[in-house]
Amino acid sequence: MAFLELKNIKKSFGDAHIIKGVDLAIEKGEFIVFVGPSGCGKSTLLRLIAGLEPVSSGQMLLDGRDITYAPSGKRDLAMVFQSYALYPHMSVYDNMSFALKLAKVPEAEIRQKVEAAAAKLNLGNYLQRTPKELSGGQRQRVAIGRAIVRAPKVFLFDEPLSNLDAALRGNTRVEIKKLHESLGATTIYVTHDQVEAMTLADKVVVLKDGLIEQVGSPLELYDRPANQFVAQFIGMPSMNMLPATSLPSVSQLTGGKLPGDGFLGVRPEGVRVHPGAASGMPGRVELVEALGADTLIHVDVSGVTLIARQNERTPLQSGDDVGVEIDPSVLHLFTRDGRALAAA
């Protein structure tokens, strides 16, 4: 039996069906990331697990115990919100210890737990400060520390890095990953940022319109997407997606496996661009994005725009004639309704 199990979970607000039947098994110690576009239901699903919203139907089991209708405070879960939700008049120590004091935990035990959590989060020198004296990243670590001291069975994170700037978001993401590895705690993390999903998760749950599209490791989703939606949602820039009839020379690379009304996908790293039109399909450069370590080249090939990613820098400029080659070993095939077929 899975550590946390969701069975046909549904949630409606009046006539609006937000979660339409989710089945999910989460093992003890896993880091699970819910990802998907805005409005897909990922935060609602997290709130259902936390007990902040009642389910409309279905069942939840945590470590063999039915928690479907248990109050939030009785579920043995701890949640870290997008907003830090710290008490502004309390010190860091008091914020982190507040729940333990309410539970009448002995003061010596509270101090030991708070100091241990503060050491893990590099907050030891800030325990007497108030939230207004901390940076955004430090406030988020206090919120995480408040969850850690409770030693819950499951940690829940609802887009915890959204309020941080890009550099701090990257640093805090690394800290969360290290913290998970040191605690070995079961963690469910909601984000719209696929970089967070790919770098943090043991398993990624891709949601769309209240349903799970695919569950798997980050590289499983990247290399073997179950459908066209997952293929284009996971990966930046998005997978090139071509109707079967748009570039016949590329469709021929599939050896007849691609249906005439289907779609062919290729990641940007599977597209190679050569100066001049001596080899490959003739094309013309539309845009060059120099990112430092990577270069993205947008190329028009017979009216179809392809994006190529290459590790080396390029002298190419907009308007240059080029030859375009596609690696047939990395093609993805999809039916008209977006279902993935066997690789070419």
Q: Where are the domains of the chain?
A: 4-225, 237-334
How far does CA 67 lie from the centroid of its chain?
26
| Mean pLDDT of all residues in 175-190 | 90
| Mean pLDDT of all residues in 118-145 | 90
Residue 15 has pLDDT above 80, yes or no: yes
Which residue intervals of 26-79 are DSSP H helices?
42-50
DSSP 127: T
What b/e string do you get for 42-64 counting C-beta neighbours within 10 Å, with b at 16 or more?
bbbbbbbbbbebebeebebbbee
| Mean pLDDT of all residues in 220-224 | 95
Residue 145 burial (C-beta neighbours within 10 Å; 0-12, 13-18, 19+):
buried
Model pTM? Answer: 0.90
Residue 344 has pLDDT above 60, yes or no: no
Coarse DSSP helix, strand, coil percentages of the chain, rounded to the nearest 5 percent: 30, 35, 35
Residue 162 has pLDDT above 70, yes or no: yes
Q: How far apart are the first and last CA of the chain?
A: 37
Average pLDDT, the chain: 92
Residue 176's pLDDT is: 87
Residue 61 has pLDDT above 90, yes or no: yes
**Closest Cα to residue 308, out of 240, 221, 225, 219?**
240
Residues of the chain above pLDDT 90, percent: 69
| Mean pLDDT of all residues in 324-338 | 93
Measured from the Cβ of residue 25, the count of other Cβ atoms closer than 10 Å reads 14
DSSP strands (E only) in 115-245? 154-158, 186-191, 203-208, 211-216, 240-243
Query: Per the CATH hierarchy, to which homologous superfamily does domain 237-334 belong?
Result: Nucleic acid-binding proteins (2.40.50.140)
Q: How confident is the model at residue 103 (pLDDT cuts 50, 70, 90)?
A: confident
Residue 188's pLDDT is: 96
Residue 312 has pLDDT above 50, yes or no: yes
Residue 1's pLDDT is: 63
Find out whether the peptide bond into 237 is cis, omega within 30 degrees of 0: yes
**Is the CATH number 3.30.70.2660 carried by domain 4-225?**
no
Residue 83's pLDDT is: 78
